Amino acid sequence: MKVLNKILGGLLIASLASNTPAAAKIKTVDEFLKEDKVMIYSSPVVNSTNSTNWYANPYAVLSPTKRHLKPEVMMIYVSSEGYSDGFENLVQLNCKNPIESHIVHDPLKDRSISFKESMAYPNNRSDKNFVNRLDRGAVEALFNRYC
């Protein structure tokens, strides 16, 4: 009986998670362009009750241009709030070729920053690259929601 209750509890949580706005997948360019800022990921801080919330706000679709198709390459404004806030950048998300996804432009480095490079930066506020650090969970959430 206890096992059955745990299974049912797990199914309930999974169904609730799939019904939240952040869990909904974007299916068309129209849906993407109509969406407002949405929380995509919450990152708990180890040994603390604090967390960092990551938000996405669709900006533009680069391809395809037909509004009834699923977006493949898009621009999204991503920001973080909470314990590790400070990330506020426009990112290009490429669903067809994920390795080409990047932070659009870093004025300090005068170039784009790949997601791979961004995730490798230390999670340390005193690090000069901290403002360009994307949490791995936030990157996964972007791809899960928009691709």
Q: Which stretch of DSSP H or E encloses residue 17?
A: helix 2-19
Question: How much is the pLDDT for 6?
Answer: 39
Q: What is the pTM of this model?
A: 0.76
Low-confidence stretches of the chain (pLDDT < 70) are 1-23, 106-109
In whole angstroms, what is the distance from residue 105 CA to residue 96 CA?
Answer: 21
Amino acid at 52: T
Question: How much is the pLDDT for 61?
Answer: 93
Question: How much is the pLDDT for 106?
Answer: 61
